[in-house]
């Protein structure tokens, strides 16, 4: 049993180190919320959301084993949340500590009976199953369990968002390519120039800027 615990601790230590090594290449972030208002402010910034409800206060921190488990859970959640796949897929990751009153009330409104608990959101609304119950994952779960939970329930929406984002970027680049300014050389030509200081016939030659299609 002791060896199993040591293996789990080692696994999360390795994952934590990898998260720092890979951090420059990963763009998504995990945010904390101390109130229901801040929770929804964060949640509404993206079309999809994953929230982790847990409790960590001064009294619970005195329990060394509990503190280690919470630290491991937070590290695991942060590693998952920093994946570029979820950033591109429009997923917001939020940690919500129920030691704050409004967060505790929020957890109760979602019928959370056990902590830690993971909930999924779409357009700010918690997902429910066919029976009308909130879809959630509870307990001291593993990295793989959280990943599977997210992908089973949100994969289709994530893929749609990735495709939509890629198309938007393609269109934006096309617009920039077509209408960016570029320098052109102007061939000289004779003519009458009424707007010079001394209007009269003359010759023009030079270069300038032009906005338009670049071939």
Per-residue model confidence as pLDDT tens digits over 147-186: 999 999 999 999 999 999 888 888 888 877 776 665 555 5
What confidence score (pLDDT) does residue 92 get?
97
25: confidence class by pLDDT, cuts 50, 70, 90: very low
Average pLDDT over all residues of the chain: 81
The stretch 57-61 carries a mean pLDDT of 90
Specify the higher pLDDT residue, 109 or 172: 109
E strand segments, the chain: 30-33, 48-54, 91-97, 117-122, 125-126, 136-138, 181-193, 200-211
What confidence score (pLDDT) does residue 170 get?
86
What confidence score (pLDDT) does residue 9 get?
56
Residue 126: Cβ-neighbour burial (10 angstroms; 0-12, 13-18, 19+): middle
**Which residue carries 């066919």 as its tokens?**
130
What confidence score (pLDDT) does residue 209 get?
46
Domains of the chain: 26-171 (3.40.30.10)
Q: Other CB atoms closer than 10 Å to residue 44's CB: what's the count?
A: 13
Residue 185: Cβ-neighbour burial (10 angstroms; 0-12, 13-18, 19+): exposed
Specify the higher pLDDT residue, 13 or 116: 116
Return the structure tokens found at 78.
């942060």
Cis amide prior to 116 (ω within 30 degrees): yes
Select from 127, 145, 125, 144 the least CA-distant residue to 136: 127
127: confidence class by pLDDT, cuts 50, 70, 90: very high
27: confidence class by pLDDT, cuts 50, 70, 90: very low
């Amino acid at each position: 049993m002791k060896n199993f615990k040591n293996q789990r601790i080692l696994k999360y230590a390795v994952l934590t180190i990898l998260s720092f090594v890979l951090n420059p290449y990963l763009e998504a972030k995990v945010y904390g919320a101390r109130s229901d208002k801040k929770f929804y402010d964060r949640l509404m910034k993206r079309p999809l959301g994953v929230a982790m409800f847990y409790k960590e206060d001064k009294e619970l921190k005195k329990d060394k084993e509990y503190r280690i488990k919470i630290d491991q859970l937070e590290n695991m959640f942060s590693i998952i949340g920093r994946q570029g796949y979820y950033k591109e897929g429009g997923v917001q990751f939020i940690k919500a500590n129920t030691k704050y009153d409004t967060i505790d009330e929020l957890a109760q409104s979602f019928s959370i009976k056990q902590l830690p608990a993971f909930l999924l959101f779409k357009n700010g609304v918690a997902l429910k199953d066919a029976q009308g119950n909130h879809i959630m994952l509870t307990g001291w779960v593993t990295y793989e369990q959280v990943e599977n939970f997210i992908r089973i329930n949100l994969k289709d929406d994530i893929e749609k968002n990735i495709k939509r984002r890629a198309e938007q970027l393609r269109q934006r680049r096309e617009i920039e390519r077509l209408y960016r300014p570029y320098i052109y050389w102007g061939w000289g030509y004779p003519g009458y120039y009424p707007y010079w200081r001394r209007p009269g016939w003359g010759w023009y030659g030079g270069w300038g800027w032009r906005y338009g299609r670049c071939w």
